[in-house]
Chain A
Amino acid sequence: MKSAEEIFDILKKKFGDAVLSLDKDTPVEQIISIDPLKINLISKYLRENPELQFDSLMCLSGVDDANGIKVKDAEGNEIIEGGTLSVYYNLHSVSLKHKITLKVSTPRNDPQIESLEKIWKSANWHEREAFDLIGIKFLNHPDLRRILMPYDWDEFTEEISRHPLRKDYKNPEFYQGMKVPY
């Protein structure tokens, strides 16, 4: 069983700059920030290293950080420009019983993160969900489709109504000719 500090030191020694920081200020979870394009290499190491053995991905959550600048677009809707979207990974080792939270942040205007589907199969649907609701693109994902929302949501809605869990989401007026705020 290892603490977040020990795991951070092991990763820092192995991967150097790809491991960004350990957030000690948060009162409950300690979070290690990772480079979004190295997350698959680091995750593979976390799973396969005999000292760490993170064999299970408990949860994967996409988050809109809403840390950009609020501006008005041509139609007067308030949108967020710049800033980041993030994904949090809650990992857990069934055999060694330790836990860790990883975080990757990616720019809002071109959000891209390496998929972890090949390392933990449970990432598959979680990543589809983050793609669906937040709009993060997972590179090398085998089947990146919407999962909870209708498959044809994009065809009938404006850019601002694509991903409901973004903080500047606006309800579309119509979907397939049906009035949405009924």
Chain B
Amino acid sequence: MALKTEHMVLNMGPQHPSTHGVLRLELEIEGELVNKVTPHLGYLHRCFEKHAEAMQYNQVVPYTDRLDYLASIGNNFGYALAVEKLMGIQVPERVEYIRVIMAELQRIASHLVAIGSNGADIGALTPFLYLFRDREHILSIIEETCGARMLYNYIWIGGLSHDIHPDFVRKTKEFVNYFKPTIVELDNLLSFNKIFIERTANIGILPVDTAINFGASGPTLRGSGIKFDLRRDDPYSIYDRFDFEIPVGKGLMGTVGDCWDRYNVRIREMEQSLRIIEQAVDNIPEGDVQSAIPKRIKPPKGTVYKRVENPRGELGYFIISDGTVNPFRVKVRAPSFVNLEVLGELCKGNLVADIIAILGSIDIVLGEVDR
């Protein structure tokens, strides 16, 4: 006998702990099943793009920190690369190496939060605390170098704000050695946990075609089984010198492109980041990190679109220069903004409780969704 259900509109957020910030979802449900999800954004809109037009090029860097505040180095990196491409600046080798190491450390730190909060959302609170403990190591390493824990303003156009701390290499190596066994611990604690698998496998399956058509990128795209990583497919900085693999979703626990695959891609990516750090940290050349910083940043007239692989996906900066000291237009193609759009597609026909698991597996940061 079929149960009689009632069509209902349910509001979730904007202050719900599992919405990772202030996101409001309007759910149209039929009993426990979700028919339609309409996200409402803009609660954190702070006019980054309008601000950037009033600033000089170098003054925009601290604003980029506040886009994806869990991966600030990546945001600085992309912006600096875009302006450098516009101006034709070649940065010293030392700067390239430090940038790559910092970006990879930041990727691990960011994935730790993503994985931890994904688990915490669906009830596994313990791994969350363990992962924050590990993340603290990375934040201390970066803090020692540039004085800030989250909003670094570290990568400048043409160089870096500070040279690395004398202890940096030693501490980074220590961290790599410390962190390798903790990934195994994490696998035992969460990845292969029966309850966690039950909650994430075969849930929110994202086929490859849909993912590409929706413009999804980063672990959300790779979880669907396609090897696409800008560090290899559109190499920037010195990523082409390092040997690393691109983990993709294989459907180990269920179907390719489910929540567990997206989760697993992040863990395997942390291992690859460690590999890149190991290869880079011993080869940092000597030099001055500020020698290529231009005295006056005044790019020629032109248009540039530069994209980098941020922890959440493809972060693109579209900059139009009119030949003055202020950018004419800065548009940020934020990975979370684009990835969030696919949520409506993933949630159709799932249970209300699964929306939390799906949202956690997409891993959004509202700071860059709303800009």
Contact = CB atoms under 8 A, between A and B. Distances in A.
A43 interface: no
Contacts of B47: 164
Interface residues of A, number: 32
A181 interface: no
Interface stretch (A6-14, A22-30, A34-42, A107-115): A22-30
A63 interface: yes
A148 interface: yes
Nearest to B209: A55
A160 interface: no
Interface string A69-97: 00000000000000000001010001001
Contact of B303 (A29, A97, A169): A29
A46 B239 CA distance: 30
A148 B370 CA distance: 6
B305 A29 contact: yes
A55 B331 contact: no
A133 interface: yes
Interface in B319-361: 320, 328-329, 331, 333, 337-338, 341
Given A27-B86, A120-B213, A150-B42, A63 B302 contact: no
A56 interface: yes
A60 to B, nearest CB: 8
Contacts of A157: none
Given A61-B331, A147-B42, A121 B214 contact: yes
Contacts of A90: 305, 316, 318, 333
Contacts of B45: 148-149
Given A59-B318, A150-B42, A26 B303 contact: yes
B256 to A, nearest CB: 17
B20 interface: no
A121 B213 contact: yes
Interface of B: 41-42, 45, 47, 49-50, 85-86, 88, 210, 212-215, 226, 228, 233-234, 300-305, 307, 314, 316, 318, 320, 328-329, 331, 333, 337-338, 341, 370-371
Given A29-B303, A61-B318, A88-B318, 4 more contacts: A27-B300, A28-B86, A28-B304, A121-B341
